[in-house]
Amino acid sequence: MYTRWLAYWLLAVGMLLTAGGIQLRTMAQDIKSPSNTQESKKEQTKDNTPRQEPRKVKSKLLVKVPDEDAELRIEGQLTKPTGLERRFVTPELDEGRPYIYEFKVTWRPNNYTELTRTKVISFKGGEDLVVDLTRPDPNNPDKAKVRWVPTPDDIVEEMVKLAGVKKGDIVYEPGPGDGRVLIACVKSGADKAVGIELDPKKAEEARANAKKAGVADKVEIRVGDALQVTDYGNATVIMLYMGDEFNNLLRPLFEKQLKPGTRIVSHRFTMGDWKPDKTITVQGRDGDEYVLHLWIVKKPEDKEAKGSKEDKEAKGSKEGKDPKTRPKQSNSP
């Protein structure tokens, strides 16, 4: 009778913990608690007092995500709820004991970009948590995958012209796809071209195309994550066609690694509030219009001077529009 009752009880608990599409009993990862150290065990032995079992409690979780249809994983398990705010209840935990949960959210801001954001949270049993995944964590940068879309060959030529690719240049391109941009750069005089491609099959295709074009000795295709590259500083030219989101993830790497004078050319997409030095619109052979942007990396003092000038211009523009601060007109000729 007792065995049958225990089986029913365990079944009921299992059904409760799987609510929301996740077996929450496997979500928690214990970290060492002071109550489990050797020192405390010795003290318990000296006092000769029975160890008191911690009270069992549950924690409520409120998880905020950047997209209503985002996929949320807690401790690696996919959850079912949707919406911008999602609520969960943990299994029973030891009150006051430290725990760690990993939250990972994946969403698609458009049909060619997939972003993943991870956050690790420490808490004590019984504490309620609000986990905000709508903002990036500087200590744990987002990861991104971008579906490759080819740039027409005539627009590639315009990108090379805008970048002013010439002899002596070293060109880097995140996500080179079939390698057409890098090949065009080498044919225009670049000493070397380096592509960082996440897809091994595309990397092989790019190498084969470079060999076919007779420039395999100058084109290097790496298989890897463009957001993990540490030698962008070798580049004199960067070529981009990756999307606004990916460009924003690249920007801190560029600001940290690129030397003054490095030219960055992006097909269509910008880099947040980093204003291009030049933007052009060109008409392709297919009849469509294409927007290309050029940035030239400045010296730190040049950046400060440019920022100060823009602030003054913005202030002057505001004063001209505000009737309270607009200068009075003189009646003198």
- Is residue 152 within 8 A of residue 292, CB to CB? The reply is no
For residue 25, which amino acid is it? Answer: R
Instruction: Please tell me the chain's helix, strand, coil percentages from 3-state DSSP, rounded to the nearest 5.
Output: 35, 30, 40
Q: Tell me which residue of 113, 312, 328 sits closest to 227, measured CA to CA.
A: 113
- pLDDT single digits (tens) 158-201: 999 999 999 999 999 999 999 999 999 999 999 999 999 999 99
Q: Tell me which residue of 135, 97, 96 sits closest to 119, measured CA to CA.
A: 135
- Whether the pLDDT of residue 321 is over 90: the answer is no
- Whether the pLDDT of residue 8 is over 50: the answer is no
pLDDT score at 196: 98
DSSP labels for 117-186? Answer: EEEEEEEETT--EEEE-SS-BTTB--EEEE---PPPHHHHHHHHHHHT--TT-EEEEES-TTSHHHHHHH
| Mean pLDDT for the stretch of residues 83-110 | 96
For residue 190, which amino acid is it? Answer: A
102 versus 299: the higher-pLDDT residue is: 102
Q: What contacts 314, CB < 8 A, 6 or more positions away?
A: none
Pick one of 3.20.14, 2.60.40, 3.30.420, 3.30.2010 as the CATH number of 22-30+54-140.
Answer: 2.60.40
- pLDDT single digits (tens) 245-266: 999 999 999 999 999 999 999 9
- pLDDT single digits (tens) 115-125: 999 999 999 99
Pick one of 3.40.50.2300, 2.60.40.60, 3.30.390.50, 3.40.50.150 as the CATH number of 147-300.
Answer: 3.40.50.150
Q: pLDDT > 70: what percent of the chain?
A: 75
Domain ranges of the chain: 22-30+54-140, 147-300
- Is residue 276 within 8 A of residue 249, CB to CB? The reply is no
- Whether the pLDDT of residue 315 is over 50: the answer is yes
Q: Which two tokens stand for residue 289?
A: 């219009």
